[in-house]
Amino acid sequence: MTPEIVDSHCHLDFPDFEGERDAVVARAVAAGVTRMVTICTRLDNVGKVQAIADSYPQVFFAAGIHPMRAAEEPLTTVETLVALARHPKFVGLGETGLDYHYSADSKEVQQQSLRIHIAAARETGLPLIIHARDADDDMARILTEEYRAGAYPCVMHCFSSSAALAEAALALGFYLSMSGIAAFPKSADLRAIFAAAPLDRILVETDSPYLAPPPHRGCRNEPAYTALTARVGADLFGLAYEDFAKATSANFDRLFTKAAAWRPAA
């Protein structure tokens, strides 16, 4: 049997998959990817993302305002996010976070938006899904300040930041998610960060349609390729692929408890 694994972060609503979602999901399942979380990055699109999750028993969804969009639409509210979280397949808050690489001019509103999403994660108990780029100091500071004000679960999605931010996140009990970046030949430093982390804090994702791992680098990524990144992760931890897949799937269940508990209606 093909070992089961989870793609904890993908974007099945993106135009790259238009007209092909049935085939994309089928290829993922054939590769052992039995669950996928598709992420909504702008709340005016949440209806489409929810409909995709409702169409496939293997697909769940999360929603929030991406930091690069934080200045483009009104700030959401905790109440709005909590209301969205009532859907049975809504399993996480975000992606949210800080991105100063392209949008440092909106850092203040990004920080406001991040704190709103944290409050919703704290209230619902659903995991916060963090995007972090070129904002390590502010990210570590805000996550730590907010955690001291009240605990919440969290994953650092597509982690490719510094060892210092990894250590800060792990110290709070958060998870690091490994994307195709970790499989790139020039990512030795990033692989070392993952290898130094506890195995029980590691997730795997594609962030598809972006960041396809070798041998598909430069092509459209898709959830089936989770297995390719996971094989790199297995090597880092000195494990058979089957054992790494089992460990990261258990980690997903521990963090995304609502997805773990979900069962299709009879």
Within 10 angstroms of residue 75's Cβ, the number of other Cβ atoms is 12
| pLDDT above 90: percentage of residues in the chain | 98
By the 10 Å C-beta count (0-12 exposed, 13-18 middle, 19+ buried), 134 is classed as: middle
CA atoms of 114 and 217, how far apart (whole Å): 31
Rounded mean pLDDT of 83-87? 98
Rounded mean pLDDT of 152-180? 98
- Residue 215: its pLDDT value, please? 96
The tokens for 57 are 């028993």
- Residue 265: its pLDDT value, please? 81
Indicate the average pLDDT of the chain.
97
266 pLDDT above the threshold of 90: no
The DSSP H or E segment spanning 111 is: helix 107-124
Q: What CATH fold (topology level) applies to the domain 5-261? A: TIM Barrel (3.20.20)
The tokens for 28 are 């993922």
- β partners of residue 90: 61
- Residue 1: its pLDDT value, please? 80
H helices of the chain, in order, are: 21-30, 46-55, 78-84, 100-103, 107-124, 136-149, 163-171, 188-196, 226-236, 241-255, 257-261
Rounded mean pLDDT of 232-250? 98
CA atoms of 38 and 247, how far apart (whole Å): 21
- Residue 226: its pLDDT value, please? 98
- 150 within 8 A of 123, measured Cβ to Cβ: no
Instruction: Work out the pLDDT band at 57, boundaries 50, 70, 90.
Output: very high
CA atoms of 20 and 122, how far apart (whole Å): 36
- pLDDT 10s digits, 16-56: 999 999 999 999 999 999 999 999 999 999 999 999 999 99
By the 10 Å C-beta count (0-12 exposed, 13-18 middle, 19+ buried), 153 is classed as: buried
Rounded mean pLDDT of 116-129? 98
Say which DSSP state 208 is in. B
CA atoms of 100 and 172, how far apart (whole Å): 23
Name the 3-class secondary structure at 66.
coil
